[in-house]
Chain A
Amino acid sequence: MLTFENISRALPLLLDPYVLLVVALSSVYGLFVGAMPGLTASMATALLVPVTFFMPPVPALAAMVSMEAMAIFAGDIPATLIHIPGTPSSAAYIEDSYALTRQGKASYVLGVQLMVSVLGGFIGTVILVLLAPALAEVALRFSTYEYFWLACFGLSCSVMVSSGSTSKALLSLLIGLMLNCVGLDVAMGYPRFTFGSSQLFDGFSFIPVMIGMFGAAEIFRNVLLKETNVAPFTVQTDNVFKGVSAPLKKNWRTLLRSGVIGTGVGVLPGAGADIAAWVTYGLAKRFSKNPEKFGKGEVEGLVAASSANNAALAGAWVPALVFGIPGDSITAIIIGVLYMKNLQPGPSIFERSPEIILAVYGTFILANLLLIPFGWTAIKLASKVLRVPRNLLYPVILMFCVVGAFAINNSLFDVGVMLVFGVVAYVMESNGIPVAPAILGLVLGNLLEKSFMTSMMKSQWDITAFFDRPISVALGAIVVLTWMSPLFVSLIRRRKKAGIDNA
């Protein structure tokens, strides 16, 4: 695959001016779509399909690669500046990035997110290039039993991702999981909590809920203040990249670990960039020396999750290329494009068309390199938003919330959902109940119930089935250990403390 001959055939395909132009244009498009709340990267990819229909395979695939890389980073921009995640993948660390913005460090934090996104993208690409066939074989051993443990592991991050009272974080998680029960149930297709409304058969759409809980709630919080502060936020005018290298150097272990884990989560069909961000954020907090700062503007969590979601993108290509099974909703569309261009996915794709696959890998690298200047420009332009007086800014943001909630299903019902959850989140937060665990519950609840119920249907309610398979046992053991570890830690601390007291 990685022979000199193949590379020399791939390079001209990649460096064709037409391909470069396509990459540049779709990058701008991706940045734009990612930064708009309510418009997801998968939606943008779907809109590209009719356009790519008339292109040769390399530019068609290059367009999608560069678009998704840009879109996932761009989701961080509104999350950081106005507390609305541009894509669901930015939700995990929104509290940290927004807290830093309020301290006047908007362009610093965006600069860090940009650089770790680029590095995360590189890690994912390297793993994709070197290990795709082997990883795909592992991913295909994942049955519902393994996914159940994965969901459990993700949920155990919930207490880690929140700051403040543990019991309230658990309550918030339960609220999120309960919201997931709305709609047709997985086992029997029975409409739960829909109260006769067919709008709710598929449950609450995630994006309007997320926009409401983050964006609308933030506006409500601010207009409620005695006199809305009309002065703009303070924005530091330094260079975007100033001071960025220090947190990278300090957190390189976190970065590397999150990149690898993010890619791994991306490889698994059914778990994508959003779950990768939550899991790595939770892990970063667990391994951090100052976990109490997470959620209040800690750069470490942000480094972890922001690199992981970009790494996951490349990971998702692994099962798509090797078996034609999509790793996420974007690669589901890309598989269609592969077929359309007569590139049947399968292990033999690497022998059949090595130059095209290598050229696609090349676009991953190219797109991540381009992310630096393009992202820099986007940060520069977008940061100007913060210079707008807030009494003009908030009404405009509210309208963005409305349009963003509408755009995902083109339904006014979702605008109502956005409003209701905005109010709910406001009430929750003003009573000390964090919102982040509820969002995590929404992200993982579906996977949790689906994998549990289908596992039970397969095994006919034999619980031991969760411990019958090697990967399943290993994952189960990790989950149980994670849950038990706070007990051990507190036991050890108590011992130590007791020892000191005695001395």
Chain B
Amino acid sequence: MSKRVLAVLLVVAVLCFGGVVSQSEAAFPEQPITIICPFAAGGGTDAVARIIATLMQNDLGKPVNVVNRTGGGGVTGHQAILQAKPDGYTIGLGTAELAMFHWVGLSDIKASDFEPIGGVNLDSAAITVKAGTWKDYASLLADVKANKGKYTASGTVIRGIWHLAMAAWLVGAGLEPDQVRWIPLEGAAPAQQELLAGGIDMVTCSLPEVSALVNEGKLTMLAYMNDSRSPRFPDVPTLKELGVPVSIGTWRGICGPRGIPADVLSVLEASVKKAVDSDEFKQFMDGRGLGVRYLSAKDWGAFMVEADNQFGDVIKAAGLSQ
């Protein structure tokens, strides 16, 4: 029996030792920071989170760890960011999905719930077809107009960002949002596979995602859904030039729960800015085919709310809400 008592004492001793370590006032950060990534390890969002974490760690001198909280198509992770203690030690990488959940009825989360810290990335959609099918946007539009429901498009799951991009394009061009049928696939890679295999007619995922096969001449990019042309493909016209004022894409940025102290926020904002401005970040993002776009906390907060409204308009117009 005495051995069991010994065991209990051991536990108690350990507990006391843990309690003694007190928190003293010092400059932020004095312990490791966690960045919550709402998508699985290995994806694009995860890659961005990890490179930002590495660069912030170099800057702040404390470990910055990435924690993947996956599930619920991103709902779980974004929820975890909102539910974190607002002390600045747990922040997250928010993605465009956070401005969609509440419109499609998956969650109550909306853009204005988050404390913006800094926008880091923006990638606009592009309309891409298999080489040898349509040679320009005008001929595609004419065929789409004349044959309602004949053509199919993909790029992500149902009501995902690229589905919204297609709907926004069609509505902007004065057509019905289901003029082209959306085929749900799990991302840009399977969508391009289907496109090449002849299973679908076009993809509307982001420009960098299709750039490899466009460069190889297997796919043709017809239009870019941004206000200005991409330096990567200067010959591809924007939808705006083609008479459809639609600019839509996916974006990512660092955010946290509301209520983080102002001095902590300013340290984090400066560190994110420094990371995004660094050559390493630009090189990394360029390599992964992702667009760098820094926005200050204030600008990013406004941008998120604006995007939230845009998604809401598209989702309502396309009848995609539940």
Do chains A and B make direct contact within the complex (CB under 8 angstroms)?
Answer: yes
Residues of A within 8 A of B (CB): 42-43, 45-47, 49-50, 53, 140-145, 184, 186-191, 198-202, 205, 269-270, 323-326, 329-330, 332-333, 336, 339-342, 344-348, 409-411, 413, 450, 453-454, 457-458
Would A189 and B42 count as touching, CB distance under 8 A?
no
- Chain B positions within 8 Å of A186 at CB level: 157-158, 184
Q: How large is the interface on B (under 10, 10 to 19, 20 to 34, 35 or more residues)?
A: 35 or more
B244 is an interface residue with CB less than 8 A from chain A: no
Choose among A201, A325, A330, A348 the residue that contacts B189 (Cβ–Cβ < 8 A): A325
A410 and B181 contact, Cβ closer than 8 Å, known pairs A142-B197, A189-B104, A341-B287: no
Would B69 and A409 count as touching, CB distance under 8 A?
yes
Choose among B46, B104, B216 the residue that contacts A347 (Cβ–Cβ < 8 A): B216
Would A457 and B181 count as touching, CB distance under 8 A?
yes
The CA of A411 and the CA of B50, in the complex, are separated in Å by: 20
Q: Give the nearest-CB partner of B68 in chain A.
A: A410
Q: Give the nearest-CB partner of B218 in chain A.
A: A323
B260 is an interface residue with CB less than 8 A from chain A: no
A409 and B183 contact, Cβ closer than 8 Å, known pairs A42-B42, A46-B41, A199-B76: no
Would B192 and A198 count as touching, CB distance under 8 A?
no
Would A346 and B216 count as touching, CB distance under 8 A?
yes
Distance (whole angstroms) from the CB of A200 to the closest CB of chain B? 8
Would B42 and A458 count as touching, CB distance under 8 A?
no
Choose among A42, A190, A201, A325 the residue that contacts B322 (Cβ–Cβ < 8 A): A190
- Chain B positions within 8 Å of A326 at CB level: 189
Distance (whole angstroms) from the CB of B279 to the closest CB of chain A? 12
A46 and B189 contact, Cβ closer than 8 Å, known pairs A336-B287, A458-B200: no
Distance (whole angstroms) from the CB of B90 to the closest CB of chain A? 12
Would B212 and A42 count as touching, CB distance under 8 A?
no
A-B pairs with lowest CB-CB distance, top 7: A340-B287, A46-B41, A201-B72, A143-B199, A324-B212, A143-B197, A46-B42
Q: Could you pull out 13 A-B pairs where Cβ atoms are within 8 angstroms? A: A49-B50, A143-B193, A187-B184, A198-B79, A323-B218, A324-B213, A325-B193, A330-B42, A332-B43, A336-B44, A346-B215, A409-B70, A453-B184
- Chain A positions within 8 Å of B46 at CB level: 46
A199 and B72 contact, Cβ closer than 8 Å, known pairs A341-B287, A346-B212: yes
Choose among A42, A50, A141 the residue that contacts B197 (Cβ–Cβ < 8 A): A141
Report which residue of A190, A270, A325 has the largest number of chain B beta carbons within 10 angstroms of its beta carbon: A325
Would A454 and B184 count as touching, CB distance under 8 A?
yes
Interface residues of B in 192-218 (CB under 8 A from A): 192-194, 196-200, 212-213, 215-216, 218
Would A144 and B194 count as touching, CB distance under 8 A?
yes
**Apart from A140-B197, A413-B71: 12 A-B pairs, beta carbons within 8 A:** A184-B157, A186-B157, A198-B76, A198-B107, A199-B72, A201-B106, A269-B189, A339-B289, A340-B283, A409-B69, A410-B67, A457-B152
The CA of A188 and the CA of B142, in the complex, are separated in Å by: 28
The CA of A140 and the CA of B130, in the complex, are separated in Å by: 13
The CA of A187 and the CA of B184, in the complex, are separated in Å by: 6
Choose among B69, B183, B186, B196 the residue that contacts A458 (Cβ–Cβ < 8 A): B183
B233 is an interface residue with CB less than 8 A from chain A: no
The CA of A141 and the CA of B181, in the complex, are separated in Å by: 21
0/1 interface trace, chain B 162-187, chain A, CB 8 Å (1 if under): 00000000000000000001011110
